[in-house]
Structure 1
Amino acid sequence: MKSLSKKILLLLAASLDEVIDWEKTLTSPYMRIKFASYKDNYFQKIAQSMVKAGEIDRIIKRGQPFFRITSRGKVKLIYDVPLAKRLEKKWDGKWRMVIFDIPEITRVKREALRKKLKDLGFAQWQKSVYVTPFDVGQEIAEYLGAVNLGENAVMLEVKKIFVGDERQMANKLWHLGSINLKYKEFVEKFKGKKKKNGMQEEYLFILEEDPFLPKELLPDLWWGEEAKKLAGKF
C-alpha cells in the first residue's frame, strides 16, 4: 500500500495542486492489470486512508469525486520520495559528485550505497562515480556516517564539469531522450480528445521515470511541460 500511496502523492504534486479524479484512475482497466494481484477494493482503501491521514483532500467537482494533495501530503512526499524536492526547488548551478572505492568484502554496503544514490537522483557516470545537479550533500554525509563509509567514499561539489555540453551529458546519463519521447507520445495520444481513458495512469508511469532535472539541463523542446498541463486539465 505504501508504494502506491507514494505514486498518488507524486502525481498530485507534479500536477501542481490540480485535482485528479483518482476514483476513476485507480479503478481503471489499466491499473487493474498493472496491480492484478490486489483485491478489488485495494485502491479505494488507499485513497480513504490517505484522506483520513490528511495527506489528500477529497472534493466534489462537476458532481464527481476528485482528490488533491495537502500540505501534509507534500511533507510526507518529500520525506518518502527525495526526488519530490525537485518539483519546487531551483537549481543552484552546482554539481554533486560521489566517488567511492569499497572493497569486495563489503560489497553489500557498496550495493546499498549505489541504491541510495539512485534513490537520491544520482546518475552513474563511471563505475564508482555518480553525479547529480541537486543539493543532497547533507543526506549523503548522514548516510555515509551512518553506515561507516566515510573513509571509502567522498562527495565533491563543483560549479562546472568540463565535459563539453552539460545538456548532452544529462541527456545521456538520465536517458532524457527516451523519457521525452514518451511524454511526446502521451501528448499526441490524448491532446484534443474528449475521451481520455487511461490518461492519468499513463502519465503516472512516465512520471516515475522522470528524474525532474532543472530546466537548464533539459532538451530545448521538453514535452514534459505540455504533458503536465494536459494531465492537470483532466
Structure 2
Amino acid sequence: MEKQFNTRSMIFTLFGDYIRHHDNVIWIGSLIRLLQEFGHNEQSVRAAISRMSKQGWVQSKKIGNKSYYSLTERGQARMEEASKRIYKTDHPSWDGQWRILVYTIPENKRHLRDELRKELVWSGFGLLSNSCWITPNPLEEQVNRLIEKYDINEYVSYFNASYEGMNNQSDLVQKCWNLDEVNAKYQSFIQEYSQKYVIDKNRIEKGELSNGSCFVKSALLVHQYRKFLFIDPNLPQELLPKRWLGDSAASLFKDYYNMLIEPANTFFKEVFEMGEINQIKEELKK
C-alpha cells in the first residue's frame, strides 16, 4: 500500500482514537502491524516513536525483550484537548470577555518564540499585534501548561478583559483570524468527503468493505479532520460569520466516523489482542 501521511502524525491519530482507550499502552509490534495498513514500514515506525519519546509525547517500558509505549502526562493532556475539539457537540459558550496573552521573551531564548507561536495557534489564539495574542475562550489551563513547559513564567503576562472599541467585535475577529480561508477549507472537506461518505455507505450496506478497510478509512478521516485544529480557533457562535461551514463539516465528519468506527474498532482489537496473546505465549516459553 502507498504510504499516506507521515508516520508520526498517524501514530498520534492512533493514540488519540484507539490506544488511549485501551489502558494507554501498546506493544511496538502491534503498532508496527497497525501502521502497515497505511503503508508505513517497521523502520519508519521505530524512528517516529523514538522521536516522539525524545519530544516528551510518549514513554517506553521494557517487559522482557518487548518494548511497550504509552502517552506521557503531557501527551494525554494534548490528546484529551484534541478529542474534545474534534468530537465537540456545540460551540463554546462566551462570557463576553477576551483573554490576552503578552510575552517578552529575550533574544537568547528566541528559539522558544516559534514553538510558543505554534502552540498558541493550535490552542485557538489569534495574533492581535506583535507578541500579543487573544482568545474569547477560557484557556487558562492550556496557558499554564505552556508556561510550565517552556519555563517562561517571568516573560508572560495574561489578562482577562472586555473589548471597549474602537471597532466592533467582528472587526477584531477579522484582524486576528482569516475565517474566510478556514471556511474555504471546510468547503473543500465537505465536497470531497460527502462523496466518499455516500460511496462507502453503499459499500458497507453491500458488505464490500472489510474491517481493515474501515479501520484505515476511519483513521485517515480523523487524521484529515484533525488538521482543522491548527486553523480553526473554535470561536463562540456569536463571533462567527453568518455562512459558517464548520458546523456542516462537523456533522458530516460525525456521520462518516460513526458509520466506520464499529468495524474499525473490531480490526484494531484483533491486532491489539493478538499482540497480547503473543506476549503471553513468549512468557510461557520461559
From the superposition, tell whether residues 194 and 152 of structure 1 become closer, same or farther in structure 2 (CA, over 3 Å).
closer
Quick check: 1:128 aligned with 2:134? no
Q: Out of 66, 78, 81, which is 1:80 matched to? A: 78
Higher helix share: 2
Cα-to-partner distance string for 1:74-122 (whole Å, 9 max, x where unaligned):
x998711445555364233221111122221232344443344234322
From the superposition, tell whether residues 232 and 106 of structure 1 become closer, same or farther in structure 2 (CA, over 3 Å).
closer
Contact 1:97 1:156 (8 Å CA) reproduced: yes
1:9 positional shift: 7.4
Quick check: 1:222 aligned with 2:244? yes
From the superposition, tell whether residues 115 and 232 of structure 1 become closer, same or farther in structure 2 (CA, over 3 Å).
closer
Considering only aligned residues, what root-mean-square deviation do their CA atoms show, in Å? 4.1
Equivalent residue number for residue 15 of structure 1: none
From the superposition, tell whether residues 186 and 150 of structure 1 become closer, same or farther in structure 2 (CA, over 3 Å).
closer
Gaps of 5+ in 2: 1-6, 19-33, 46-72, 202-216, 257-286
**Partner amino acid, structure 2, of 1:213:** L
1:141 positional shift: 4.1
**Partner amino acid, structure 2, of 1:229:** S
Quick check: 1:100 aligned with 2:103? yes
Equivalent residue number for residue 20 of structure 1: none
Large movers: runs of 4+ above 4 Å? 8-12, 75-78, 83-86, 145-148, 189-193, 196-199
Cα-to-partner distance string for 1:39-67 (whole Å, 9 max, x where unaligned):
39x7xxxxxxxxxxxxxxxxxxxxxxxxx
Equivalent residue number for residue 4 of structure 1: 10
TM-score with structure 1 setting the length: 0.59
1:215 positional shift: 1.5
Quick check: 1:157 aligned with 2:160? yes
Equivalent residue number for residue 195 of structure 1: 199
1:171 positional shift: 3.7
Quick check: 1:233 aligned with 2:240? no
**Partner amino acid, structure 2, of 1:39:** N
Contact 1:100 1:128 (8 Å CA) reproduced: yes
**Partner amino acid, structure 1, of 2:250:** K
Counterpart CA distance in 2 for 1:190 and 1:147 is: 38
Contact 1:180 1:224 (8 Å CA) reproduced: yes
Counterpart CA distance in 2 for 1:190 and 1:158 is: 40
Gaps of 5+ in 1: 13-25, 43-74
Contact 1:6 1:77 (8 Å CA) reproduced: no
**Partner amino acid, structure 2, of 1:233:** D
**Partner amino acid, structure 2, of 1:195:** I
